[in-house]
Amino acid sequence: MSSHRAYFANQARWSGWEMAFWLAWVVAFFIPQSNLALLSQILIWGLFAVSLDLLLGYRGLPSFGQAAFFGIGAYTAGYLSKFGWTEPITGLLVSGAVAGVVGLMAGRVVRGLHGVALLMVTLGLNSLLYDFVQRSTELTGGDDGLPGVSIAPVLGIFKFDMVGRTGYLYTLAACFLIFVLLRALVRSPFGLALLGARDNPRRMQMLGAPIDRDLTLVMGLSAAVAGMAGALLTQTTQFVAPEVLSFQRSADVLVILVIGGAGFLYGGFVGALAFIFLRDLFAALNPIYWYFWIGLMLVLTVTFFRRGLLPALAGLWARRRKPAVDRPAQEVAP
């Protein structure tokens, strides 16, 4: 196969690393003492970070309001189950759709913005939604959370048991399927168009690329994935409270993605693993001052691993496997 075809096929093929990554999650299920509840939440954080990666990593748009879509998905799943639609899988899809539609509308609103203005508008919209949900106690139960959320067993068979086995497998399956779709998407011409618009919107205009349409679509898509992550959280914890759309969550997911590495689709999961695991560790070690270590970790990441852990690890692995002499500084092309 001529070299250029191999070049593109190479990018699309599932590498050994990727398969090992997903297999590890399956193996973790069988390890007797593994903390399935924590791993499920890491997966949910990871998927949530991947939704932000579509925006930030692939289209270069930072957002301080991604938790708004996460929260919309979480509450939609909550309301569905409260009004009788307790089947989880369809509930997940509907939640993603609702969040996606709101994402499309948000996309049209923030179209012309970038930089700090974009951060502030997304922050403002997120705060408005949080304030509304927290204050309307009759509608959402406010701070005490939405009453009456109960989810039927998956496929009618697997009940959400206490140990979290069903919850873990359900989350893993959902995350994997959504991830496979996203992976195919970013390897399609649409993904390349996003990267092009991230690098140089003016050049894209002169290639006739509908960058505004693409921006609205990627906002809708990223919102849908964030909504499904939110729905997964509601379904596995059978509870939802205003905290799901707090500013703190939007800041945490941004931190997670930057630590993991934006623009590699796996950065979200790697970042979630590092962040949630370390936060749990620091909190257990020193419950009062663990915020300090989270802050330090963030400062060090931004200083030394400018593009996140994943590229740093990949770079290390590449240098170790092939001496740098005969190999040009291969940038990990997405």
Site for other proteins in 64-123 (CB under 8 A): 109, 112-117, 119-121, 123
Residues 4-23 that bind other proteins (CB under 8 A): 4-5, 7-9, 11-12
Among 30, 208, 321, 326, binds other proteins (CB under 8 A): 208
Shortest distance (Å) from residue 216 CB to other proteins: 11
Residue 16 CB, nearest approach to other proteins (Å)? 18
The torsion of the CA quartet 307, 313, 314, 319, rounded to 10 degrees, works out to 110
Helix axes 36-53, 211-237, angle to 10 degrees: 170
Q: What DSSP string describes 114-132?
A: -HHHHHHHHHHHHHHHHHH
The yes or no reply on residue 325 touching other proteins (CB under 8 A) is no
Q: Which of residues 147-166 bind other proteins (CB under 8 A)?
A: 147, 162-164
**What is the phi/psi pair of residue 158, to 5°?**
-85, 110
Tell me how far, at minimum, the Cβ of 219 lies from other proteins, in Å: 12
DSSP 248-310: HHHHHHHHHHHHH-TTSSSHHHHHHHHHHHHHHHHHHH-TTTHHHHHHHHHHHHHHH-TT-HH
Task: Tell me which of 93, 145, 158, 278 binds other proteins, using CB under 8 A.
Answer: 145
Distance CA 183, CA 172 (A): 16
Please, are residues 57 and 71 in contact by the beta-carbon 8 Å criterion?
no
Residue of 237, 241, 228, 113 lying closest to 182 (CA atoms):
228
Query: For other proteins, which residue of 26, 139, 173, 306 counts as binding (CB under 8 A)?
Result: 306
Which residue among 94, 102, 225, 254 contacts other proteins (CB under 8 A)? 254
The binder of other proteins chosen from 200, 316, 324, 327 (CB under 8 A): 200
Rounded to 10 degrees, the C-alpha dihedral 104/266/276/313 comes to -140
| Shortest distance (Å) from residue 181 CB to other proteins | 7
Q: What are the beta bridge partners of residue 158?
A: 154
Site mask for other proteins (CB under 8 A), range 223-242, x = bound: ----------x---xxxxx-
Residue showing tokens 């270069």:
60
Nearest to 245 by CA among 261, 234, 258: 234
Number of H helices, E strands in the chain: 16, 0
CB nearer other proteins, residue 91 or residue 191 = 191
Q: Which of 206, 304, 320, 326 binds other proteins (CB under 8 A)?
A: 206
Total of chain residues touching other proteins, rule CB under 8 A: 108
38 makes contact with other proteins (CB under 8 A): yes
Q: Does 202 bind other proteins (CB under 8 A)?
A: yes
| Site map 255..284 versus other proteins, x via CB under 8 A | x--x---------------------xx-xx
Residues 168-197 that bind other proteins (CB under 8 A): 181, 184-185, 187-193, 195-196
Distances (CA, A) of 75 to 31, 215, 231, 324: 33, 25, 7, 51
Output 37 or 313, the one with its CB closest to other proteins.
37
Residues 115-144 within binding reach of other proteins (CB under 8 A): 115-117, 119-121, 123-125, 127-128, 131-132, 134-135, 137, 141-144
> What is the chain's length?
334
What's the CA gap between 222 and 12, in Å, rounded? 21
In the complex with other proteins, which residue's Cβ is closer, 203 or 322? Answer: 203
Sole binder of other proteins in the list 43, 50, 52, 62 (CB under 8 A): 62
- Write out the binding residues for other proteins, residues 285-304 only, by CB under 8 A: 287-292, 294-299, 302-303
30 binds other proteins, rule: CB under 8 A: no
